[in-house]
Structures are given as C-alpha cells and as structure tokens.
Chains A and B, each alone.
Chain A
C-alpha cells in the first residue's frame, strides 16, 4: 500500500504563508494532478512531498510511514523535474543506474531494470548517449526512465511537459498516462495547464493561494465546480459569467445587471434578493429562441467546432457551436444557455448555489 496522505499541512517562507492547511488523500495507484495558477503553492506542496522543502506544520505520510523528518533519499519517491535535471556528465545508462548504484543494487539487477525501463520507453538505442545529444522529447523520456527503474512508492512530476512543443506535449501526455496504467504507481503530477489536468488525472486538486479549492474527478470538476474560481479555471474556452439577480416573479429566470434575461431550470433556495453570478459553458450557449440576441464579434473555426465571440447587452460572451453554419461578423444571433447546465454563484463568497 502506498497511499499518500497530506494532513493539515502548512508552509511558511518567513512571514509569508504559502500553504495554508492542505488536506489531501491520494489512494494507492491513483493519478492525482495538482493544478492552479502560478504562485498557488502546488509546486511547493510537491517539493514538500519530495522532502526538498521542510514542512512548517502538519503531516505527510507515504504508505505507513510519516515522512516529515525523512531526507528525500529515504522517502522512496522518484521525481521528474521540469528541466529534466539529467546529469550532464553521465550517459543515459549511467543516469538511469545512478540511484540503483547508490542503493547498492547488484549489477545484474541494475542491467535488468534498465533494460525493462528502456523497453517500455523506447530508450534502447539511446543508452550510450549523453543528455546534450538528445532532443527535448528524448530527455523527457530519459527523465521518466530514471524514475521508473527505481520502482518507487510514489512518482512526482513537476510540470514535466512545459518545455516541450505543443505537438510533443500531447504525445507525451498520452505516453505518461499509458505508463501509469501499466505500472499503477501512485502519482502526483503538478501542472498549471488545466487541459493536462483534465486529460491525465484520476483526480484533480485545484489549488489557489495555498488552499485546496476543490478536489474530484475531471468531469465532476467540469460539471459541478464548487465555486467561481474552479468554474473559471477549468475549461477552455472558459465559462461565461454574467452578474445579476434572479427574478422573483413567475418563471425562474436570471436577470443580469446589463439587462439579459436567462431562463433557469430551477431556483436555488437562498437566491432571491442576493447578488449572484450566473455561469454557463460556451458549449451550453446554443442557437435558439427564448434567450437573448447577440452580435457576432469574432468567429474562430477550429475544424470540429466554431468558437464565436458575441456581444450581448454590452457584455462579451463566448459560445462554441458544433453545427456547420455560415456565421458572419456583425450578424445578430438568437442565443440561449441550456437551463439545466447553468450555474449560479454567490457573488460575495463565490460558492456554487445549485
């Protein structure tokens, strides 16, 4: 069992508190992604798990052991760094063998493990090369190879794909996911890219300002964001937001301050009278009567769909249309958010009321 438990962890750098009471349990074999804007504390938290930063208060447990006071080398973890951090004066084979040699693993066993990892990652032809002779994607793969030969209890990834070009990033994303499905090692993966988080994670942990905003499966976060921050952070293009109040007469509808009228499926109990923010995903803003008219500002065809930026009552909204329809700039479109997919957030606390 190598469950990772982070309980009530705090981290101070001098007077600044960068991690403010984080509780996360990552189950054995789970792929967890820590995601958030830069400065949210996700990398610091990962480094605390690795033992590269001290823990100001709280506990971190890996498997049965409390690791707070253990040196990184005694925590049975492997880490892949953003810069890959391959040892430049050693060839690929020596890079992969380094940790095993330190541990005193027998030479034959080292050879076997390297061979196995090289097979999995396609590194066989590169074993004699030095890091400077490798491309970015190959270095990335060697960094992973160095991690997997160790067969650790937990893998830690610190933004491992952010130095790769867009195409390679998508390929490596799939490769890491496949690797995880094969090895089933508990994994903590840090990224600022919510698409990476959505595509790779069993569970996403969204962080902001040193606290966990929400934890859950990718679609759970997408469909039921706990608050305004998560709603705006997850999803691309991001959710549309309109400030206003609910109408108190007749049918349930949302009236924006700018004058839009949006039909709702139901009313939250605490809604009447409060300042609210109404949120709906771009793909939930559909063509159809009963909503509002909007002027087309920009049309961005992506192939499978069309991103259209419109202006309605002075407010810019994005909608994603799947139907192929000739849309011209300046045209007036009738639009209507799908009532079942609308979120209402408290304007003050940001909490989701639906």
Chain B
C-alpha cells in the first residue's frame, strides 16, 4: 500500500470514529427532542417510535403555561447573568494586576487561586449552607449570585491572566505616552484587544452557572427561588416521571446555552488557545 492510500484509509477510519463519538453524544439529545414532541400516548410506546406522529407542542405548552418553569427560567437568567458579570468585573482587574505587576507573594496567590478552584463543590456545600443561613442569604438569589461569582473568579483569573500577558507591554506604554492613565490604558487598549478571551471566559462561566445543580439545590428551597436545573428535577416525582414535560423543559433549558455556544464558539477556541500558548 502506498502512502497516499494509507492516508486515505486513515482518514476514513478517523471520520468513522468521529461520527461514532458524535452519535454517542447526540443520541440522548435527539431522543429528548423527539420525546418532547410526542403526543402522550406515544412516549412509552413499544416498539419505540423514532419520529413523533404527528409532532405536537403539547408538552411545551404544559410546562410553560401550567408549571413554574417560567419562574425557574427567569431565576436562572438573573443569577447567571449577575454572577457572570460580577465575576468578570472582579477577574479582569485581578488578572491584569497579576499579569502586569510583580509583588511579594504573587506566586503564592496564583497557586492559592488555583487550589481553591480544585476543591470539589460537594465538599463545601454544608459550610456554604450554614453560612447562607447565618447571613440571611438562604433562599435568596443574592446568596447564589455571590457563591457562583466566587466560584468562577479563580478560573477566569487564570484564563485572563494568560490572555493579558500575551498583549505586548509596548502597546500600553504607547497609550501611557499618548495620554492614558494606567487604568485607562487597560480599559481602552488591553480590554478591547482581549475580547476573544473575555468571550471565551464568559461562555465558560455562563455554562457552569446555568448547568449547575448543587448550589441552586442547596441554597434555595422555595419555588420562587428555584433555578432551572433544580426545577427540572421536580418533573421526576414520587409518582412517576413526566417524560414529555421533563424533555420539553430540558429542551427549553438547553436552548440559551446552545444558541450562545453557536454564536461564540469561534471565540471559545481562539480564547483557550491564545491563553495557553503565547502570541
């Protein structure tokens, strides 16, 4: 076999393998989507129906109009956007300081940040719960916002620091000579140039908060404060699983993330790359 043929056989295997992995990842999603569009009597039909006949939005109507899903959705939007914005504001400044200035204890600080983000969430759930109860932040959106903000900061700082370091210092110096203060040079020159990094960081943070179950489950109890992932859980009751409604709610919950991801995926890859390898 010559080199060219070997390469094309290799390519075929690679494509097949990629298709296999993709199918494995997509199958549950597709199954969820079809289930959400099935009339109630077809959901548990045997043999299973792959395509709903006829497709119906009945389950979507039920979860959106007759359950608390809109409340969960709203809570998730508020908590996610607030915590991601706070985390970004804190992290860009911290990351810039760490990237550009040398000071005593900087290395220790960086390691410390990394170490805190390595603690598994479950390990600190009980202390967090106690803290929330004692500070009056239990069952409040603010409590969840604070925890999610703190949770996101270390990762964002590490990501953004690499990003800021890759921006030549001469650009800032040019801005200083051109009439900027240090902070202004950061806002007018460094931040706009770091847009790919900021977008990559935000989408990672958004996905983390939007998808997280543990904190929302631990720090809020009432329907009015429930986040989406916790809300989805309520479709699994002691009396059975409302598959149609559960899947419809899941599809609704997935939509914002999928849309955001498709819009920003270009930046995500670029952001992770340039944070990792300089230049």
**Real binding pair:** yes
Task: Tell me the bound Cα distance from A51 to B176 in angstroms.
Answer: 9
CB of A235 closer than 8 Å to a CB of B = no
Q: Which residues of B contact A51 (CB under 8 A)?
A: 176-177
Q: Is A98 part of the binding interface, using a Cβ–Cβ cutoff of 8 Å?
A: yes
Q: Taking the complex as formed, is A73 at the interface, i.e. its CB lies under 8 A from any CB of chain B?
A: yes
Interface residues, chain B, with chain A CB atoms under 8 Å away: 168, 170-171, 173-181, 184, 189, 192-193
B174, B180, B184, B192: the one within 8 Å of A81 (CB): B174
> A87-B189, A89-B192, A89-B193 are known contacts. Are A73 and B180 too (CB-CB below 8 A)?
yes
Inter-chain contact B173/A85, CB cutoff 8 Å: yes
Q: Is the CB of A73 within 8 A of B170?
A: no
- Chain B residues within an 8 Å CB radius of A50: 173, 177
Q: Report the 8 A-B pairs with minimum CB-CB distance, sorted nearest first.
A: A102-B179, A99-B178, A85-B174, A85-B170, A73-B179, A72-B176, A79-B177, A72-B177
Query: What residues of B have a CB within 8 angstroms of the CB of A98 in the complex?
Result: 175, 178-179
Inter-chain pairs besides A71-B176, A88-B193, 15 sampled, C-beta below 8 Å? A50-B177, A73-B177, A73-B179, A73-B180, A73-B181, A83-B168, A87-B171, A87-B174, A87-B189, A87-B193, A98-B179, A99-B179, A102-B178, A146-B178, A150-B178
**Cβ of A4 under 8 Å from chain B:** no
Given A89-B192, A98-B178, does the pair A52, B173 have CB atoms closer than 8 Å? yes
Residues of A within 8 A of B177 (CB): 50-52, 72-73, 77-79
CB distance from B65 to the nearest CB of A (A): 46
Is A325 on the interface with B (CB-CB < 8 A)? no
Which chain A residues numbered 106 to 150 have a C-beta less than 8 Å away from chain B?
146, 150
Q: Is A103 an interface residue (CB 8 A)?
A: yes
How many chain A residues touch B (CB < 8 A): the figure is 23
Binary contact readout A67-98 vs B (1 if CB under 8 angstroms, 0 otherwise): 00001110001110111011111000000001
When chains A and B are docked, how far (Å) is the Cα of A259 from the Cα of B165?
59
Are A83 and B170 within 8 A (Cβ)? yes
Report chain B residues within 8 Å CB of A72.
173, 176-177
Are B192 and A73 in contact, with the CB atoms below 8 A?
A: no
B185 to chain A, nearest CB (A): 9
Chain A residue at smallest Cβ distance from B167: A88
Once the chains bind, are B181 and A79 in contact (CB under 8 Å)? no
Picked from B168, B178, B189, B193, the residue with its CB within 8 Å of the CB of A73 is B178
Q: How far is the CB of A102 from chain B (nearest CB, A)?
A: 4
**CB contact under 8 A between A85 and B171, given known A52-B176, A72-B176, A73-B176:** yes
Residues of chain B lying within 8 A (CB to CB) of residue A78: 177-178
Residues of A within 8 A of B180 (CB): 73, 102
**Partner-B contacts on A (CB < 8 A):** 50-52, 71-73, 77-79, 81-83, 85-89, 98-99, 102-103, 146, 150
**B215 CB, min distance to chain A CBs, angstroms:** 37
A77 to chain B, nearest CB (A): 6
- Name the B residues within 8 Å of A88 (CB-CB): 171, 193
Q: Which residues of A contact B178 (CB under 8 A)?
A: 73, 78, 98-99, 102, 146, 150
Chain A residues near B189 (CB-CB < 8 A) = 87
B179: A residues at CB distance < 8 A: 73, 98-99, 102-103
In the bound complex, how far is the Cα of B193 from the Cα of A98, in angstroms?
Answer: 15
Which residues of B have CB within 8 Å of A85? 168, 170-171, 173-174
Q: Once bound together, how far apart are the Cα atoms of A103 and B175, in whole Å? A: 12
Given contacts A73-B180, A73-B181, A103-B179, contact A79 B192 (CB under 8 A): no
Q: How far is the CB of A199 from chain B (nearest CB, A)?
A: 25
Task: Give the complex CA separation of A89 and B184 in angstroms.
Answer: 16
Give chain A residues whose Cβ lies under 8 Å from the Cβ of B192: 89
Which single member of A79, A89, A102, A103 contacts B174 (CB below 8 Å)?
A79
* 23 pairs from A and B in contact (CB 8 Å cutoff): A51-B177, A52-B173, A52-B177, A71-B181, A73-B177, A73-B178, A73-B180, A77-B177, A78-B177, A78-B178, A79-B173, A81-B173, A83-B168, A85-B168, A85-B173, A86-B174, A87-B171, A88-B193, A98-B179, A99-B178, A102-B180, A102-B184, A150-B178
Inter-chain contacts of A79 with B (CB < 8 A) = 173-174, 177
Instruction: State in angstroms the CA–CA spacing of A82 and B169 once bound together.
Output: 12
CB distance from A13 to the nearest CB of B (A): 12
Measured between beta carbons, the chain B residues less than 8 angstroms from A52 are 173, 176-177
Instruction: Determine the distance from Cα of A3 to Cα of B181 in the docked complex, in whole angstroms.
Output: 26
* C-alpha spacing A81/B180, complex, angstroms: 16
In the bound assembly, the distance between CA atoms of A150 and B177 in angstroms comes to 11
Query: For the complex, what is the distance from the CA of A99 to the CA of B178, rounded to whole Å?
Result: 5
B43 nearest CB across to chain A (Å)? 52
Which B residues are in CB contact (< 8 Å) with A86? Answer: 174
Q: How far is B189's CA from A150's CA once the two chains are assembled, in angstroms? A: 19
Which residue of chain A is the closest to B173 with respect to CB atoms? A52
Measured CA separation A99–B180 after assembly (Å): 8
A73 — which chain B residues lie within 8 A by C-beta?
A: 176-181
In the complex, chain A residues whose CB is within 8 Å of the CB of B174: 79, 81, 85-87
**A114: min CB distance to chain B, Å:** 14
Give, as a whole number of angstroms, the nearest-CB distance from B102 to chain A.
11
Chain A residues in 8 Å Cβ range of B181:
71, 73
Q: What's the Cα separation between A146 and B180 when bound, in Å?
A: 15
- Give the interface centre of B168, B173, B181 by most chain A CB atoms within 10 Å: B173
Min CB gap B36→A, angstroms: 43
State in angstroms the CA–CA spacing of A89 and B198 once bound together: 15
B176–A81 contact, CB under 8 A? no
Which partner residue on chain B sits nearest A78 by CB separation? B177
Specify the chain B residue showing the minimal Cβ separation from A156: B177
Residue in B closest to A101 when the chains form the complex, CB atoms: B179
Contacts of B168 in A (CB 8 A): 83, 85
Q: Bound complex: CA of A146 vs CA of B170, how far in Å?
A: 15
Complex: A51 Cα to B173 Cα, angstroms:
10
